[in-house]
Structure 1
């Protein structure tokens, strides 16, 4: 070590010893102040009255990642509020029922698109998936009992047709504006709409009101209301399923005579239709879907940066679930062979979520049992028409992957025909090899300085311990005060 480095080490030692002694002086000064305050309290016989310590809530929030300003940059963790419009499927009618009379009961807490009871591991719903990304998400419905249930932002009405969507939209907006638990202007919202089954069931008795033109007219009116009055919103518009398949459900595995009678009561035209009538129903069903797609393709709901409508088509090309021996598995439906059971709600929730993770134009149109997709580093946002091209299709490989399995209640294994999941080439991160350019060799004098620093800090610690021990070795007699006077 040359003379220059030796002097540098000595200077460093002197500096640290000075800082150590200064720190000890500060601590001694603080101890003296506390002793003086203690003696004042004793001399004046002041016990000190209890006082408020001040507020501990200034409304301060920690947002290391600010919320996005555009709906096209909306990530799952950004979603604050969920809501839904629709009919008895979204209301959860009969979801946990074991007998036909239970269909009248609404199990809104397990509704596929807006139910929030329990957690993802026990109840697969869209809100429970979102809780994995934002545990504070709000708006989901819970409960079944009329006195204790909380509809929150589940505005679906059992028996509703598309003509009821405008009123449901106004109801939802009113609830959100008047709810103290949410911030209507600033919260990011996802609203799911699923409607049309009851329209198709009414084709025989109301052909004009159930026509594709009437269906799309009132659906558009409801979307217009949301677009005009609801800020920071992404609307999931789920296309209607192929309702002409209902008769197969009534004769599948787990179906009963009571189920067939109930289905014929709730949707008689479809349930009892002959082959010719089923073909007509299918054509009109397809026209519902086509006109819905045309409406959204106009771009009329993409005129603002904080609102959009995305079609989620996971049941557009409906394939019913089947058992291993080739029977339609009716256990995915409630005891009336019309509404969804909890299994059906779970499968709908999984496929709705996966649609949200798929680019517009490349979305799955056949539902099935599959792992939940996840946002990726390349595509962290929920897909919309404006952020889908170009896009890397997300795979099942997660950056944050909530995994789960759907519990079944039958002894048969259920399978479905489904399209293969789109995949992207495996991504690999470059390996960084650290050479001497990554760091510099520490010189000898630097090592000596570190050693001296450690010794100085150790000496300082020992001094503080000695002072503290001496202070604690002289305990004062405890005094009892009452109304400020020592007893």
Structure 2
């Protein structure tokens, strides 16, 4: 009798362990600790995609997606201070969305953990504005430093032929994930007298046209739209009066000619040189962009097909203004540094497995110990 009960208990424990393995959520500090997904015959369609089904990744965006200044100033790299090569370098292999450098904490490397044959992530670095001359580095990172929504079409002019030419890609049949994040330069240009291309309606029109072109020209694809950041917060976080020892800020942010008001973020972003109202208008515009992106998501979500879908990751709730100084690039205290890129990659990755209604809307402050979600075999990339 005892032996029979032991078998029943053992069977119960086995069933329970399987249930827990399939149904519970596992998070970890490193994607390497996530268990591999069990093999299956393949997805039934765009609603049935797991990370291991994605064979191709690509990205469009601006200097953030290009990884500009990501590693900051390296005084041993061709000069000193701002006058060296690292101050004009795009570290594309570590970009949060599409970097493929070994060990880099990026969205692409998270996917690659589950599919080692992934194609498209960028590797390495190169000087700024040399995208087409460095296709072997950029691969499918078509982001352009200085880009605004209007430049997305030009980025697709590079991306689509490049994707078709990759030797290990079956363009017609492989599943693809394309991430788009753009809008920071658009906000910074809103104070210009010539700002017709960065209004909320213009921004939405350019993004919508890019997605329409992707749907028409790239088969078997999910477009992963990431919302805009409230970049005005960077201005406030680098104000001198926020630091007891202003010299610490000046040393890290490296103002030109050691003039406190000449931090490069004031030069790179026109609205940072304007009034407080100009910067408040940036936040308003960013919210309008985000609302437009949600409308675009709803439009294409209603039009999804067996080979096309869209997902939307809001980003307004990422508290950019509360990033620690060290999470910004010490080139300009404007572009995100490695720590910020890693944080963003984790947030976006975790959101991929949540339905739209469950994606967080509360303000999310920077968390150096942000966990990475480990999908199980029942998880899918959510497009609802």
Q: Same fold (TM over 0.5)?
A: yes
- Name the CA shift for 1:166/1:69 in 2 (closer, same or farther; >3 Å): farther
Cα RMSD (Å) of the superposition? 2.2
Q: Which residue is equivalent to 2:87?
A: 103
Q: Which residue is equivalent to 2:9?
A: none
Q: Which residue is equivalent to 1:310?
A: 311
- Corresponding residue to 2:327 among 332, 341, 344: 332
* 1:83-232 → structure 2 map (5 Å cutoff): 83-98=58-73, 99-101=81-83, 102-119=86-103, 123-145=104-126, 150-205=137-192, 206-232=194-220
Normalised by the size of structure 1, how large is the TM-score?
A: 0.61
Q: Quote the offset at 1:70 in angstroms.
A: 1.1
Runs (5+) with no aligned partner, structure 2:
1-37, 74-80, 128-132, 256-261
Q: Quote the offset at 1:278 in angstroms.
A: 2.3
Quick one: distance in 2 between partners of 1:302 and 1:372? 31
Instruction: Say whether residues 1:268 and 2:267 are aligned partners.
Output: no
- Three-state SS of the structure 2 residue aligned to 1:80 is strand
| Aligned 8 A contact 2:229 2:320 in 1 | no
Aligned length: 312
Q: Quote the offset at 1:250 in angstroms.
A: 2.1
Quick one: distance in 2 between partners of 1:304 and 1:267? 40
> Structure with the greater relative contact order (CA < 8 A, sep ≥ 6): 1 or 2?
2
Quick one: distance in 1 between partners of 2:383 and 2:365? 20
Q: Which residue is equivalent to 1:73?
A: 48
Runs (5+) with no aligned partner, structure 1:
1-62, 323-327, 386-487
- Three-state SS of the structure 2 residue aligned to 1:209 is helix
- Three-state SS of the structure 2 residue aligned to 1:83 is strand
Quick one: distance in 2 between partners of 1:163 and 1:320? 24
Quick one: distance in 2 between partners of 1:201 and 1:64? 47
Q: Quote the offset at 1:169 in angstroms.
A: 2.0
| Aligned 8 A contact 1:249 1:255 in 2 | no
- Three-state SS of the structure 2 residue aligned to 1:281 is helix
Q: Quote the offset at 1:73 in angstroms.
A: 0.5
Q: Which runs of 4+ in 1 moved over 6 A?
A: none
- Name the CA shift for 1:275/1:226 in 2 (closer, same or farther; >3 Å): same
Q: Quote the offset at 1:367 in angstroms.
A: 5.7
Q: Which residue is equivalent to 1:380?
A: 379
**Higher Rg:** 1
Q: Which residue is equivalent to 1:358?
A: 354
Encode CA deviations 1:147-199: one digit per residue, 9 max, x unaligned: 87511100111111100112212321111112212111111111110111111
- Corresponding residue to 1:347 among 343, 346, 364: 343
Normalised by the size of structure 2, how large is the TM-score?
A: 0.76
